[in-house]
Structure 1
């Protein structure tokens, strides 16, 4: 007679492999390292023990759909942040979970409507990914289901969240300029008062302070965080006799505007001006000439972390009760070196002849 309950550990024991290997093979994880013989043995063992059928029966008994909802605030339409979805999807596959995606907007009515539509699919938990790092008000309907925020925090601190290390990323960006010998560094930043803006300014100031450099408020100019804003702010910073030899830009789109401003002023990159961006939007960073040194946001890792945290919440009642005590997880933002940074000219900040 078949066993009453068959779990993944039973399959692993019978097949002589690890639980992780079983999970990767049965969920067709592309990165799984296993021979064809091992794959066949695991699948045959799972079928013989009735593991697949048992999973379905168990989900029905527990009234779980084994589906996870991903409420994506315009993430699905932005190529640089789509890796959030890929990270969450890979982590879901490893647990035999299905990811259901709804792309919403920043309009509160749209968010509530799309949240309700997602919950009608009877998902077991929800990942809520925002367009960029900021504080949000969690839709009321999400308070009834395990939820994890990606690239944002809740205004009441009621749910787990994962965010990028904005300050650390900015510190690395400015540090790259300092290490190349730059001592006068401007900052073209975002006009919106959000955590990303505050964190990147803090990282800029800390990097200057740790290097013994004076903070000059006149070298910090805020505009809309798009290419036109970067162009306008960069003109204000660069069109002056005492212009900086290094420029840190709030994001790669603003850096693209900085390239245009530098070209109009006859300033060569990187021989006259070194520039570092933020976000690592590859279509921009690799497409600029010279290619832009920038800081990468950990989109894939944030998606992966959030799914892991949500799975833990769904399985642990104690974790759910203690959810209000969670502090946001902060993931590092690595520097991506390209060709936009060099040592300053010996005669200081001077434009091209």
Structure 2
């Protein structure tokens, strides 16, 4: 059985001193090595299978250089952008020399609290929560009392980087409204209604909320009711809700779904019923999943751009800085290039925005 890799092994491989390797791997403020040397040492440590002795560090009261990323399994399965964020966070923390735990939230406050306590006992220094789990206030209090740092994608937590969907959703709704007019339907599945419903209320100002719900929405069954494969569930529910909505109003031409999974089912029904997406009906989803980006039809969507924002989470977490940041999601509006079957993104400006800019 081969012996574990040591700091000396890494130092010999890289041609530097043992103390230099030690300073780099623990992100010491006294490390004055070049970025090239840091990258070489970390890559060599990975290749040689170096493992930190966390038990020794805990006994000595030293930092363990570990973080925990937590998300619900339902969101991991149902939201492609959540998986993307988790991967980006792990990659960014790894670049800074930190090891990452990944753990899942459940619908039980005490079990979530027990998971956090276990991670704290292992020496985890900071937590990134994707969403707000059951019992989130107790989790925040426990982490802060133990000297840890917590940042989340949810404004339910004190430290957060929140992606607002209002501006991007409003752009999508304006686009669909200008194409479809009153023959428009929004397909929510969350309860309470998602933030993008506020965009509908801004565009359909002439309607009360009750009228808006009655005339321009058709509810899908929530992902929380899913007991099997989520993509199949979302596809079936999107298909069924679209069939129901078109049965109630055959003149529907604009379709906006709470997420891309439901949109894919809706697209299937629309195509099978003889409608031409991007020509006589217009469709938008939410999350800008790969299936939508690569669809053979022009389907609009909203992107969280996590690959650009993940480094900000890591920066705030490693500096233990207070953070109440709100960023905008991005609308991707797609159409056929006129006279062709090729798809492109357009820089859509609503007639209302044109009027405001001309004043």
Q: Is the pair's TM-score, using the shorter chain for normalization, greater than 0.5?
A: yes
1:11 corresponds to 2:32: yes
Structure 2 equivalent of residue 202 of structure 1: 198
Deviation at 1:289, TM superposition (A): 4.2
Between 1:271-280 and 1:115-124, the stretch displaced more is 115-124
* TM-score, normalization by structure 2: 0.65
Work out which of the residue numbers 214, 221, 224 in structure 2 matches 1:224.
221
CA distance in structure 1 between the partners assigned to 2:250 and 2:295 by the alignment? 26
Structure 2 equivalent of residue 150 of structure 1: 152
CA distance in structure 1 between the partners assigned to 2:143 and 2:171 by the alignment? 36
Deviation at 1:10, TM superposition (A): 5.3
Structure 2 equivalent of residue 64 of structure 1: 63
Deviation at 1:121, TM superposition (A): 1.5
Kept after mapping to 2: 8 A contact 1:270/1:341 = no
- Secondary structure in 1 aligned to 2:299? coil
**CA deviation vs aligned residue, 1:58-108 (integer Å, no higher than 9, x gap):** 998662111111223225556712221222123213322221222343333
CA distance in structure 2 between the partners assigned to 1:25 and 1:175 by the alignment? 51
- Secondary structure in 1 aligned to 2:195? helix
- Secondary structure in 2 aligned to 1:222? coil
State how 1:128-147 maps to structure 2 within 5 Å: 128-130=129-131, 136-139=136-139, 141-143=142-144, 144-147=146-149
Kept after mapping to 2: 8 A contact 1:70/1:100 = yes
Work out which of the residue numbers 181, 186, 190 in structure 2 matches 1:183.
181
* Number of residue-to-residue matches in the alignment: 290
Work out which of the residue numbers 309, 313, 317 in structure 2 matches 1:310.
317
Deviation at 1:342, TM superposition (A): 8.9
Work out which of the residue numbers 285, 292, 307 in structure 2 matches 1:285.
292
Deviation at 1:222, TM superposition (A): 2.4
CA distance in structure 1 between the partners assigned to 2:198 and 2:71 by the alignment? 28
Q: Which runs of 5+ in 2 are unaligned?
A: 1-17, 46-51, 223-233, 340-359
State how 1:43-192 maps to structure 2 within 5 Å: 63-74=62-73, 77=77, 80=80, 81-130=82-131, 136-139=136-139, 141-143=142-144, 144-154=146-156, 157=157, 159-178=158-177, 181-184=179-182, 185-192=184-191
Between 1:70-79 and 1:160-169, the stretch displaced more is 70-79
CA distance in structure 1 between the partners assigned to 2:334 and 2:103 by the alignment? 35
Deviation at 1:170, TM superposition (A): 1.0
CA distance in structure 2 between the partners assigned to 1:166 and 1:135 by the alignment? 25
Kept after mapping to 2: 8 A contact 1:294/1:335 = yes
Between 1:245-254 and 1:2-11, the stretch displaced more is 2-11
Deviation at 1:136, TM superposition (A): 4.3
Structure with the bigger RCO (C-alpha within 8 Å, sep 6+) is 1
Report the CA distance shift for 1:58/1:119 in structure 2 as closer, same or farther (over 3 A): closer
CA distance in structure 2 between the partners assigned to 1:109 and 1:244 by the alignment? 46
C-alpha RMSD of matched pairs (Å)? 4.1
* TM-score, normalization by structure 1: 0.66
Work out which of the residue numbers 258, 269, 282 in structure 1 matches 2:266.
258
- Secondary structure in 2 aligned to 1:192? coil
